[in-house]
Structure 1
C-alpha cells in the first residue's frame, strides 16, 4: 500500500486495534502504512472460513466518504468489484405504478450496494497482507487498563494478558472497550434505542436474473413501517424490514406463518410472489435492535480511543454508518500526520474534529428514517425534490441538496447541516413560487371552463 504520510517509525510496543470489523480492518491498514506494528483482535472466529450469521448482514450502501477512504490506500477497485451501483430509489406503493426517484440532479451519481460480509472479508485480506499486522481471532477482551495499556483476553486456550502502546476500540456499537472506559469512569455513554427492530428476507434470482431493478434501492414505505431491498452480485436481493417492535403490524404481533403471509398480502402484495422462503426467513432470522450511541470523551490519557460505531453508532437510514467509520480512519490518520505521530496530541485532536460531525449525521440519519418511511411516496415530497434538482442545475455548486452533500461529497457532516439550513430558506421561497404558479394556473383554467 502506498500513499502520503507513510513510513513513520512505530513505538516499541504494537498498536492494539480491538475489533476486526470494517473500521478496525481499515484502521489496521492505515496504521501499517505508517510503519506501526499492529495487533488486530477479534472475538469471533475468522469469518472467511465459515458462513455469515443468518439474517445479520444488512447490505451497506458505500458512497463517496467510504470510497475516498478506500481510494487513499489503493483498495477502491478491489472493493468495488463486489458492489452494485444504485442511482435512485424505487418506491413500491400498495397499489399503483412504481415511482423511480433519482438520487442526483443529473441521474448519474450512485450509492453502491455491497454485502457487509464481502466487504469485511476483503478488508481482512488487506489487513492480513499489510506488513506488521497480526490478526488474533477468538480473542474476547475482558479487561483493559487505560493508564498502562494492559489488556486481558479470553481465548479457547485460556486467558491471555498482553499490552500495547495505544489501544483503539473499533469493536462496534456494543463496544467492550467503551464499556471498560465507562466502568472506570473514563467516559460516559448514552444509548437511545428506537421502538423499531429489523429483520432480513431474501428475494432470490428468477431464472438467473434479478427479480427487481438492480439499479435502484427499493423502498416499500408504509407510514409506521417500511421495507427496503438492495441487490447482490448473485442476482438476489437482501430485503430488510424496519417494523415496530410491538403493537399492530409489529414483529411481536406477527408470530405465525399465516399471519405473516396475510400481512404481506395486504401491505406488500408485489413482494409476496418473489419471496418463496418468506415464512422460513421470517421465522428463523433474528430481530435486530436499532439505536444511537453517544459517548464522551472518545479518548483518554492519549492512550485509548474509540473509533467508528464504538464511539458513535447511528441508525442505518442514511446509509452512512460504514462511510462515517471509514471517514474516522482518514481523520485519525490526518491527525497523526499533523502531530508527527504524537498520540497524546493526535487522539484529542481527532475527537475535537469528529465529534460534531458524528452528532450531525446521527441526527440526519434519524430524520431520514421519517423521510423514507412517511414522505417519499408523497406528491409534496416529489415536488420539493424536483425543485431541489432544478436549483442544483440552475445554481451548480451554489445549491446542493442535503442528500448529495451527504452521499456524494466529503463535506464534513456538521457543515452539511449548517449549509442545508441556509439553503432551506431559498428552497422554501422557490417552492412557494412554484405552488403559487400551479394554483394560479388551476384558477385560470377554472375561470375558462
Structure 2
C-alpha cells in the first residue's frame, strides 16, 4: 500500500504529526514552589517536551499578564502571588545570566535591572572608597527586584504552557507516588522537584523516607529591610546616591548596604547581631534607635526619612546556611536551590546558584539526550515513496515514533533542520540517573559556596575598611592584569565564571599563599629601599659636612 506524494505534501503531513507528538508527553513533572528557582526550572523542563505543573503555597489574585516580550499575548491570564513579598534586592551575575540565556529570557530580566560595576564604600571617618568588582570593564553585577523576577518568569512560563496551582500546601506522597496537598488535590505520578526554599516542605517529606545528613547553621547576624527614596525630580528618575554601585557602610559587627532600583530608590538592608536588633525593636525608644543609627550611618540616615517607620514595621529576619546529602530520593524527588543548599546572602550568589542548579540539571539531561540515537528522514528533491500507514501513527512517543521513508535520491534533502529535529526520537529523561548525578556533582560545589559566603561577609563588614586589605586587593589586581590566564581574583572566580564553587575555594587558598608572599616581598623590598636611601642620604650629609669643615 504505497502512495506517491510530492515533497511539499510530505513536509506538511510529517510536520503536523510530529509537532503533535512533541507537544504531548507521557511525563508531567511536579514543581513545588513558584519562586525564581521553581519558575526557571519549569521553563527548562518545558523545553524538553515535558508537561509541567507548578504548585505554590502562597495565594494569588487573577491578573492580566502584561506582555513580557514580543512572544507573549496580551490577552493571556494567569495567577501571580499577592502574598507578602520580600523586598530585598537580588544581585544577578554571570552564573544566573547564563542560566537565563539558555531559555531566552536574560535580556528580559536585564531590562528591569541596574548595572553595578563597583562597591561604593562609606567609611566611618566620612571618606569614601570605590572598589571595582571585576578586572575587566565588562564585568558587572546587576541589581534586580526579587518580586519582579518572580513575576516576569511566571509570565513567560504561563505563556509557554506551564500550569500554575496556587494556595496549595504540599504535605506528602500517596501510594501511587503522586504529590498530595492540604486542599485535597493530587498531582501526577511524575518526578517531584523541591524548589520551595530553605524551610522546604519537600525536603521534610523526603526526610521521612530515607537517611539524610542535614546541617542547619544560623548566623549570628540577622537583617532588617529599609529604604532610600528616589530624589524629588519630576522629569525622570533620580538617585540620591551614585547610581551604578552597591553601597556599603561597614562598621564591624553591623553593616548597611543599599542596592539601586530602576525607579530611583534604593533597597537598603541593615545587618546586625540578632540580639541587638531584637533589643532595639522591643526595648529601645524611637529616639534611641535613631541616635544609634545616626551615630554609625550619618550620611545614610539623612536621606532616609522613613528609616524609623521601616525599622519598626519590618521584622528581624534570620540568616541561615543549610547543607543536604543527598539531594534526592530514588527517582521521585530532587531538591534544588535553597531547599538543598541555602546560604547567607553576602556573596550575592543565592539566586545565581539556584539558577545554575537548573542549568546544571539541564546539562545532565543534555548528555543523556546526546547519547540517544536520532532518526532523521531524508527526502529526494523530486517525488518519493511514502509509507502512508506509518505516517498515520499514534502520537504516543512510545509507539512507532519514527517514520520510514524510501527515497529516490541517495543525497536526501527536502526537510528543514527544524522539521528533521521534530521527527527525532522523543526524549524521555532517565530521572534515576539524572537525580543521582545532580546530587553527587552539584552538592560538592554548593558546599563550597557556603564557606565562600561567610568569608565574604568578613570582607564586606570589616576588611573593606582596612588599608591592608585594600593594599592586598591592589596588588592582586596588578598581578591579574599581567597574568590573567594564571591568576583570577576570588571575587571574579565566584561572580564572573562558572568554575564550581569548591574548585574556586581550592584555587583561592593556593593564590592566597602566593599573594601573601608577593605582598611580603614588596613590603620588605620597599623597606629595604627606604633604608638604603636613608643610609645613602646620611652618608652624603656626613661627607658634605666633612668636606665643608676641611675646606
Whether these two folds match at TM > 0.5 is yes
Aligned to 1:15: 29
Matched, 1:411 2:499: yes
For the structure 1 residues 92 and 338, does the alpha-carbon distance in structure 2 shift closer, same or farther, using more than 3 Å as the test? same
Instruction: State which of 323, 326, 335 in structure 1 corresponds to 2:364.
Output: 335
- Shift of the 271–44 alpha-carbon distance from structure 1 to 2, 3 Å rule, reads same
The superposition leaves residues 62-116 of structure 1 with CA deviations (integer Å, 9 ceiling, x where unpaired) of 0000000011111111010011111110111122311111111244411100011
Question: Is 1:46 matched up with 2:77?
Answer: no
Structure-2 change in CA distance of 1:64 and 1:90 (3 Å): same
1:160 is paired with a residue whose SS is coil
More displaced 10-residue stretch of structure 1: 169-178 or 338-347: 338-347
> Is 2:286 the counterpart of 1:261?
no
Instruction: Pick the aligned partner of 1:216 from 215, 240, 245.
Output: 245
- Find 1:296's aligned residue among 325, 328, 339: 325
Q: 3-state SS of the aligned residue for 1:218? A: strand
Task: For residue 271 of structure 1, give the secondary structure of its aligned residue in structure 2.
Answer: helix
Deviations 1:199-256 (A, max 9, x none): 0110001223101111111111111111110000001000001110114996557633
* Corresponding residue to 1:322 among 343, 346, 351: 351
Matched, 1:207 2:238: no
SS for the counterpart of 1:409 is coil
Q: Does 1:241 align with 2:255?
A: no
Greater displacement, 77-86 / 431-440: 431-440
Q: 1 CA distance for matches of 2:359 and 2:272?
A: 34
Residue 152 (structure 1) aligned with residue 188 (structure 2): no
CA distance in 1, matches of 2:150, 2:246: 21
| Map of 1:3 onto structure 2 | none
- Checking the alignment, whether the CA contact within 8 Å between 2:337 and 2:353 is kept in structure 1 is yes
Deviation at 1:357, TM superposition (A): 0.3
**Cα separation, 1, equivalents of 2:533 and 2:288:** 49
State the alpha-carbon separation in 2 of the partners of residues 269 and 228 from structure 1. 14
In 2, Cα distance between the equivalents of 1:300 and 1:38? Answer: 20
Counterparts of 1:227 and 1:24 in 2: how far apart (Å)? 30
Aligned mate of 1:36, from 45, 50, 59: 50
Asked if 2 retains the 8 angstrom alpha-carbon contact of 1:244 and 1:251, the reply is no
State the 1:42 CA deviation: 0.4
Match for residue 379 of structure 1? 467
Residue 260 to residue 254, structure 1, CA distance change in 2 (3 Å): farther
> 2 CA distance for matches of 1:377 and 1:24?
38
Aligned with residue 347 of structure 1, among 435, 441, 446: 435
Match runs of 1:408-447 below 5 Å: 408-444=496-532, 447=535
Tell me which moved more, 208-217 or 272-281. 208-217
Quick one: distance in 2 between partners of 1:418 and 1:94?
34
The 1:442–1:57 alpha-carbon spacing in structure 2 relative to 1, beyond 3 Å, is farther
1:55-66 matches, within 5 Å, as 56-66=86-96
Residue number in structure 1 paired with 2:314: 285
Pairwise CA distance, 1:13: 4.2
Distance in 2 of aligned mates of 1:446 and 1:9: 81
- Distance in 2, matches of 1:261 and 1:52, equals 30
What SS does the aligned partner of 1:142 have? Answer: strand
Given the two structures, how large is their TM-score scaled by the length of structure 1? Answer: 0.92
Contact map agreement 1:69 1:330 (CA 8 A) in 2? yes
Q: Is the 8 A contact 1:23 1:170 kept in 2?
A: yes
Q: Scaled by the length of structure 2, what TM-score is found?
A: 0.76
Q: Report the Cα distance in structure 1 between the residues aligned to 2:440 and 2:280, rounded to whole angstroms.
A: 40
Please state if 1:90 is matched with 2:120.
Answer: yes
The equivalent residue for 1:114 is 144
Instruction: Kindly state the Cα deviation for residue 270 of structure 1 after the two structures are TM-superposed.
Output: 0.6
1:296 and 1:176 map into 2 onto residues whose CA distance is 16
Q: Does 1:100 align with 2:125?
A: no
Q: What displacement does 1:186 show?
A: 4.6
Gaps of at least 5 residues in structure 1 are 1-6
State the 1:130 CA deviation. Answer: 1.7
Judge conservation of contact 2:326–2:440 (CA < 8 Å) in 1.
no
Alignment match, 2:417: none
Paired position in structure 2 for 1:228: 257
**Which whole-Å deviations, capped at 9, do the CAs of 1:388-427 have from their partners, x for residues lacking one?**
1001111022100110011111111112112222222221
**Is this contact kept in 2: 1:64–1:409, CA < 8 A?**
yes
